[in-house]
Amino acid sequence: MKIDLDRYRLRPGKRPHLKRRDAANTQGLSEKKDEDRVEDRLEVLRDRLTDLQEQLYAERKQSLLVVLQAMDAAGKDSTVKHVFGGMNPNNVRVWSFKTPTKIETEHDFLWRVHKHVPGAGYVGVFNRSHYEDVLIVKVHGWVDADTIDRRYDHINNFEELLTDGGTRILKIMLHVSKDYQLERFRRRLRKPDKHWKFNPADLTERALWDNYQDAFETALERCSTDAAPWYVIPSEERWFRDLVISELLVKTLEEMNPQFPPPAFDPEDYPPESIE
């Protein structure tokens, strides 16, 4: 099974034109017809991801930061659960960025983010991120246009700093349509066990859909770099979303090529049979 990951990678300076992208595309795969093949491939990817994660933790020289951004109800939480849930929790850190606290607003917009960047050997997942400060902040006009414009450069410089320090950055936008979002909201209201996920304020944000799409397009255009690329992943078919992101994680970690460190002793001095 071959998945074309390159089609989702946004080249530096290229506008993604989200309306032209099919949020339900599965590269010809069918959930029913290809169910066994997909599950077999996911099992292979999970095993490979486990091995690479252990090597990353043992090496303690690099880290991986995965940034997830999306419109409301696009599936950020379920992505974290299904893609990262099988990883060793000892060296995975998931952080969800909500409304800034009073202390956080007294610092620059990157302050609260920087302290949660994964250290050497760790995988970090940002469920929302510093990009909120050029998305919701921009849409609602909470700062002036000139400040927003400078923030794109601040973000690029910040991510370059992290990259120089050994952190690989993988940025993923979960792409869904406005109709899909509506159905997910309705589903939350139909199912009592999902009522907790419904927030009437989300409907206010939904009315600003076009503004958000424009803000996303500008942020992705300005901040997709060779070192920290953005990927726009079709996410309406969640099994396909999980497959693509799993492939992308394995590919990224394989490129990082973490290695087990050499032992600080000579293994030949300690034959297994001699240990009591």
Tokens of 72: 């409301």
Tokens of 46: 């999970």
Exposed/middle/buried for residue 101 (C-beta within 10 Å: 0-12, 13-18, 19+): exposed
Assess if residue 269 is contained within a domain. no
Total domains in the fold of the chain: 1
pLDDT digits (tens, 9 = 90+) for 146-160: 999 999 999 999 999
- The predicted pLDDT at position 70 comes to 97
Assess if residue 270 is contained within a domain. no
DSSP bridge partners of 70: 174
Contact indicator for 66, 170 with CB cutoff of 8 Å: yes
For the cut 90, the answer to whether the pLDDT of residue 276 exceeds it is no
Tell me which residue of 149, 202, 210 sits closest to 178, measured CA to CA: 210
Angle subtended at Cα 6 by Cα 151 and Cα 232, rounded to the nearest 5 degrees: 45
Assess if residue 10 is contained within a domain. yes
pLDDT digits (tens, 9 = 90+) for 62-86: 999 999 999 999 999 999 999 999 8
HSE on the CB side for 216, CA within 13 Å?
Answer: 26
Report residue 211's pLDDT band, with 50, 70 and 90 as the boundaries: very high
The neighbour count for residue 238, using CB atoms within 10 Å, is 14
pLDDT digits (tens, 9 = 90+) for 167-187: 999 999 999 999 999 999 999
Give the list of residues 6+ apart from residue 114 with CB closer than 8 angstroms, or none.
158
DSSP bridge partners of 174: 70, 233
Assess if residue 22 is contained within a domain. yes
- The predicted pLDDT at position 52 comes to 97
pLDDT digits (tens, 9 = 90+) for 10-64: 999 999 999 999 999 999 999 999 999 999 999 999 999 999 999 999 999 999 9
Assess if residue 138 is contained within a domain. yes
DSSP H helices in 17-166: 35-59, 76-84, 102-105, 111-114, 136-139, 145-164
For the cut 80, the answer to whether the pLDDT of residue 1 exceeds it is no
**How many Å apart are CA 220 and CA 232, to the nearest integer?**
9
Assess if residue 1 is contained within a domain. no
Can you give the residue range of the structural domain that contains 38? Answer: 6-258
- With pLDDT > 70 as the criterion, what percentage of the chain qualifies? 100
Rg (the chain; Cα; Å): 20
Tell me which residue of 39, 2, 9 sits closest to 232, measured CA to CA: 9
- The predicted pLDDT at position 127 comes to 96
Assess if residue 26 is contained within a domain. yes
- The predicted pLDDT at position 157 comes to 98
pLDDT digits (tens, 9 = 90+) for 242-275: 999 999 999 999 999 999 999 999 988 899 888 8
Assess if residue 173 is contained within a domain. yes
- Residue 33: strand, helix, or coil: coil
**How many Å apart are CA 18 and CA 233, to the nearest integer?**
11
Residue 148's CATH number: 3.40.50.300
pLDDT digits (tens, 9 = 90+) for 118-150: 999 999 999 999 999 999 999 999 999 999 999
